[in-house]
Chain A
């Protein structure tokens, strides 16, 4: 079965510093990977996805993610964090053995950006 792991429950970073949120995956075959962000009392918002192609994927709000097949990782990065980036971040993988859109999510990483 496929799975996604986010090893850090929380990441603290100072505003202006680089932000990295870690994600590792386990799938059979090529992965379809996604990052979502959730602000308090809101639904999830799509940030970016990797389907195929360049290992560096650029997304919304200045975020990017690097797909590393050998390390089975898909870490989310932002060069300079903002206080407004404080939120809950989820990594997800699409279940390719099921038709449609079923996603398996990691447990989430809370990001706190301090002024």
Chain B
């Protein structure tokens, strides 16, 4: 079974630009979560989607947005990039067998964004 796939793996943008990151979950997983990882702030939760609906949202400004498609693939978008948005963006998928879920998250290898 293929794992979580994130594209692109690396990208460089300049301040003020926008970026879209893509995530394909493990087949059959309907929950997709996004996390931002930085040396200073560690791993921070961005949002979670389930069946095309945003279920949870972290404490990030409105410049950060996401969506999920009917095939469970997800995208996140960051508009008006700032230097501080440089980070590794991790996507994770999960089965949802109970609520709250007892299942583990399966992470992709991340998209490393550098903002110049």
Using CB atoms and an 8 Å cutoff, list the residues of chain A in contact with chain B.
32, 34, 36, 41-46, 49, 51, 90, 94-96, 98-108
In the complex where A32-B100, A43-B90, A94-B100 touch, is A101 in contact with B105 (Cβ < 8 A)? yes
| A43-B108, A43-B110, A101-B101 known; A108+B96 contact, CB < 8 A | no
Closest to A100 in B: B55
Query: Within 8 Å CB of B103, what residues of A?
Result: 101
Nearest-neighbour CB distance to chain A for B66, whole angstroms, equals: 14
Q: Which residue of A lies closest to B110 (CB)?
A: A43
Determine, out of B12-20, B42-50, B72-80, the stretch whose residues face the partner at the interface. Answer: B42-50
1/0 contact trace for B29-53 toward A, CB 8 Å? 0010101000000110100101000
Which chain B residue lies CB-closest to A6?
Answer: B42
Q: Which 7 residue pairs across A and B have the least CB separation, nearest first? A: A43-B107, A105-B43, A46-B104, A44-B107, A43-B109, A100-B55, A102-B56
Contacts of A104 in B (CB 8 A): 45
A21 and B90 alpha carbons, distance in the complex (Å): 23
CA distance A104 to B3 in the complex (A): 23
Contact B45 A94 (CB under 8 A): no
| Sample of 6 A–B contacts (CB below 8 Å) | A32-B100, A34-B104, A101-B101, A102-B45, A105-B42, A108-B43
Contacts of A45 in B (CB 8 A): 107
Q: From A32, which residue of chain B is reached at the shortest CB distance?
A: B102
Task: State the CA gap A42–B35 with chains docked (Å).
Answer: 14
Query: A32-B100, A90-B43 are contacts. A100–B107 as well, Cβ < 8 Å?
Result: no
Are B102 and A51 in contact, CB atoms less than 8 angstroms apart? yes
A45 to B105, CA, bound (A): 9
Bound-state Cα–Cα, A51 to B110, Å: 27
B107 to chain A, nearest CB (A): 4
In the complex, A13 Cα to B107 Cα: how many Å? 27
Least CB distance from A29 to B in Å reads 10
Say whether B4 faces chain A, with CB atoms less than 8 Å apart: yes
Kindly identify, within residues 67 to 116 of chain B, every residue whose CB is under 8 Å from any CB belonging to chain A: 90, 92, 94, 96, 99-110
Q: How far is the CA of A34 from the CA of B104 in the complex (A)?
A: 8
A114 and B35 alpha carbons, distance in the complex (Å): 31
